[in-house]
Amino acid sequence: MDDFLRKHTDELGKCIECGACQAVCPVYRETLDESRVARGRMALMEAVLQGDLPLSDRLNEIVTSCIGCKACAASCPSGAGADFVNLLGKLHLADAKGLPFYQRLLSRQILSRPQVMAASARLLDLLGRRVYTPLTDLRLAHPFLPFVRDGKGRTVPKLGPGSRRERTPSCLPEGPIRGRIALVLGCGVELLFPETAAAAVETLTQRGIEVIVPPDQVCCGAPSLHMGDADTARKLVARNLEALSDPDVDAVVTLCATCGSTLKELTPRLFASEAASALSGKIHDLQAYLRQCPAPAEQAAETPDGPPLRVTYHEPCHLGRGMGVRDAPREILQNLPGIEYVEMQDADRCCGGGGLFSVSHYDLALKIGRHKVDGIRESEAQVVATACPACQLQLTDLLNREGVAIPVVHVVELMRRIHLLPKPEAESVCSR
Ligand code: SF4
Ligand code: SF4
């Protein structure tokens, strides 16, 4: 097994202890615990590397409490990537101490096996509300099932069948073909929001883009990595490199911010190879890709009757800070006919979702997310748009808890309802 921490020692010496990360770290803002802010995490990992710190349960708790929002890295004057260093710490700890049983099961037996994942989703959908919600009241079960301990009142999502990639191997546009892309669905979209995939395929083909949904694609590896399971993540990356390696596609388009940033930035950094770099160069977030492929002029949509729909946007951490995609979703929304776009306060502030973070640290996830609800409320929006299924899930739960009846949808879902004509970019990837 790789010693990832030792392999990336150059990342550790960058912190100059200025403390700028304190003001932006959502976990520190809620806990006021110095060991949980970027500066503290960097110091802890340095001590681990030098053998000065035992790999204790307390250390494990600190390391797993980083949501991976990248706010520290984005504001660090010295270029320290504490989110990455903390992830190296997770890999190091899991390698030395092993994964808890339920994480091993999830990572090795479910996430890496699409058929098992689809069957588990069906089972969870059947039992979810009936079993999970009563368990949150059963205090005796809490020590054994930490993910239900704080879950009282949680919105349990509807899980889909997860078979879209078998149903849509290729989707051809009706008119001339202007481009060809491979679509990465991601587990969240596939199991929770299949309508996002349908909207993406429809929007792309309307623009003359042939959409291939590679049937052998698997989970991007992010959940396994964030649990510390490098072995499974490496295997998933290898399978995706194979599944997404069609040389005849112009781009590999992602619908989920976390999948996009994992495939583009994180896995090539951890598992460097020529194939990983080549795939990284082809990864485009859907919004950024659509911005470069405007709809043909004849498809300009009419403005719907009635007053405009007030829409705000939550910027997923892994899209804005992870992939550097900030303007494209906003421009798409601003140009949608029938929509009045309003920027919420701190639109790029973490919602507290963080994929499995909101399962393992639900209480903290709710505290972090509370500020987001304030921003949404103040915006007086009627719809929240975003571009990450984990954020969608978390925001829906937060709003439901607060009794705020506002739908949270993927940007492309709004586009399906109201076709748009975005401003074209100078250079287009739709070159055919
Ligand atoms: S902002 Fe960067 S350099 Fe400053 S304390 Fe935080 S991690 Fe260290
Ligand atoms: S990634 Fe986010 S949660 Fe983790 S240390 Fe940085 S700012 Fe804090």
Report the nearest atom of ligand 2 relative to the CA of 70.
Answer: 1
Domain of residue 352 covers 300-417
Per-residue three-class SS string for 187-220:
HHHHHHCHHHHHHHHHHHHHCCEEEECCCCCCCC
Domain boundary, last residue among 82, 97, 112 = 97
Three-state DSSP at 425 gives coil
What gap in Å lies between CA 195 and CA 201, rounded to an integer?
10
Q: Which protein residue has the closest C-alpha to ligand 1 atom 1?
A: 76
What distance in Å separates the CA atoms of residue 34 and residue 55, rounded to the nearest whole number? 18
CA 408 to ligand 1 centroid distance, Å: 34
Minimum-distance ligand to the CA of 28?
A: 2
Instruction: Indicate if the alpha-carbon torsion angle 35, 37, 43, 49 is positive or negative.
Output: positive
Q: Is the four-CA dihedral 30, 34, 37, 41 of positive or negative sign?
A: negative
- From 97, 132, 158, the end of a domain falls on 97
Answer whether residue 382 is part of any domain.
Answer: yes
CA distance 118 to 96: 31
The answer to the question of residue 424 being in a domain is no
Rounded to the nearest angstrom, the distance between the alpha carbon of 430 and the centre of ligand 2 is 37
Residue 228 alpha carbon to ligand 2 centre in Å = 17
Query: Which residue bears the tokens 């990248």?
Result: 70
> What number of other Cβ atoms are within 10 A of residue 418's Cβ?
15
Instruction: Supply the pLDDT for residue 143.
Output: 60
Whole-angstrom distance, CA of residue 289 vs CA of residue 252: 10
Index of the ligand 1 atom closest to the CA of residue 14: 3
pLDDT of residue 204: 94
In a domain, 293, yes or no: no
Q: How many CA atoms are closer than 13 Å to the CA of 399, on its beta-carbon side?
A: 19
Q: Give the residue, by CA position, lying nearest to ligand 2 atom 6.
A: 72
- What is the model's pLDDT at position 423? 37
Domain boundary among 56, 82, 97: 97
What's the rounded Cα separation, in Å, for the pair 153 and 378? 24
Tell me the one-letter amino acid at 158. K
Smallest CA-to-CA distance from 264 within 183, 197, 319, 328 is with 319
Residue 179 within any structural domain of the chain = no
Question: Which residue among 11, 14, 15 has the greatest number of ligand 1 atoms within 8 angstroms of its CB, and so is best to mutate?
Answer: 15
Q: What is the CATH number of the domain that holds 30?
A: 1.10.1060.10
Q: What is the radius of gyration, based on Cα positions, of the chain?
A: 21
d(CA 311, CA 383): 5
Quote helix, strand, coil % in the chain, to nearest 5.
Answer: 55, 10, 35
The C-alpha atoms of residue 153 and residue 396 are separated, in whole angstroms, by: 12
Is 251 inside a domain boundary? no
Question: Which residue's alpha carbon is at the smallest distance from atom 2 of ligand 1?
Answer: 76
**What is the distance in angstroms between the CA of the first residue and the CA of the last residue of the chain?**
44
> Ligand 2 pocket by C-beta < 6 Å: which residues?
24-27, 38, 41, 66-72, 82-83, 86
d(CA 351, CA 372): 6
**Cα of 221 from ligand 1 centre, angstroms:** 28
Residue 240 within any structural domain of the chain: no
In the chain, DSSP finds a helix count (H) and a strand count (E) of 26, 9
Around ligand 1, the residues with Cβ closer than 6 Å are 15-21, 38-39, 42, 72, 76, 78, 80, 82
What is the total residue count of the chain?
A: 432
> Residue 291's closest CA among 220, 376, 387?
387
Rounded to whole angstroms, how far apart are CA atoms 204 and 210?
Answer: 7
Sole residue written with tokens 């270029």: 79
Tell me the ligand closest to 20's alpha carbon: 1
Number of domains in the chain: 2
Would residue 323 count as lying in a domain?
yes
Nearest C-alpha neighbor of 9 from the set 73, 76, 74, 92: 92
Cα–Cα distance, 186 to 244 (Å, whole number): 13
The pLDDT tens digits along the chain (432 residues) read 568 888 888 888 899 999 999 999 999 999 999 999 999 999 999 999 998 999 999 999 999 999 999 999 999 999 999 999 999 999 999 999 999 998 999 999 999 898 888 888 888 777 766 666 666 666 666 666 656 666 666 776 777 665 555 556 678 888 889 999 999 999 999 998 988 999 999 999 999 999 999 999 999 999 999 999 999 999 999 999 999 998 899 999 999 999 999 999 999 999 989 999 999 999 999 999 998 887 776 666 667 777 889 999 999 999 999 999 999 999 999 999 889 999 999 999 999 998 888 888 989 999 999 999 999 999 999 999 999 999 999 999 999 999 998 999 999 999 886 543 343 343 434 444
Under 8 Å CB-to-CB from 165, ≥6 apart: which residues?
Answer: 185, 190, 213, 214, 215, 217
Answer yes or no: is 346 within a domain: yes
3-state secondary structure of 252: strand
**What secondary structure, in 3-state letters, does 331-362 show?**
HHHHCCCCEEECCCCCCCCCCCCCCCHHHHCH
CATH number of the domain to which 367 belongs: 3.40.50
How many Å apart are CA 350 and CA 367, to the nearest integer? 11
- Where are the alpha helices (H) located in 138-273, listed in sequence order? 146-149, 164-167, 187-192, 194-206, 222-227, 230-243, 257-261, 267-270
Closest atom of ligand 2 to 28 CA is 8
What single DSSP character describes residue 244? T
